[in-house]
Structure 1
Amino acid sequence: MVSLFLLIDTVLELYVWVLIASAVLSWLFAFGVVNTHNRVVHMIGDMLYRLTDPVLAPIRRVLPNLGGIDVSPVVLILLIYFLRNLLRELWFGM
């Protein structure tokens, strides 16, 4: 059972890093730092969007409009850390 917990915990941690990479890449797109016409950059951005948008879209619908500031990745990261701590308590009884 510990192996299952470690697998779930690792997948959640990796998803947090995917969320961070997606947020950073979206900022780089917005400020024109990276070339959006580059095929590799476009493929990476599309992959990150496809991995994160299905989870972030419901959160964006619930959150109020903050004038162009998207805090949904922060909310999701906090939820993931809460879930990880909850799983630790359930598995190990801490």
Structure 2
Amino acid sequence: MSFIKDIKHVLLLYVIGDTLTTLYALQTGNFYEGNPILSSIFGMYGATSLISLKIGFMFLLYHVYKNADRYYWNITRHTVACIGFLATASNMISVISYW
């Protein structure tokens, strides 16, 4: 399988979904980043630094894809996709419930 085909759910949920919903929620000014590490990074470099962090994470994910056993790669990619789903859903619920 190709890397892009393997990570389509990661791209949709973790990269695109979480990034867009986080940036939107922070842009409204009614929400804050709950992760203290990300919050301090956003404080220093702005919320758009999240895009750079996601790109860097994709390089790390590619390294795992190339070097890990297929079993561990599948666990990794499905876990990241689930985290992306939970983060996106949490962001969306927060924004919708605020309205």
Q: TM-score range by the shorter chain?
A: 0.3 to 0.5
Q: TM-score w.r.t. structure 2 length?
A: 0.34
Q: Which has the larger radius of gyration?
A: 1
Q: TM-score w.r.t. structure 1 length?
A: 0.35
Higher helix share: 2
Higher RCO (Cα < 8 Å, 6 or more apart): 2
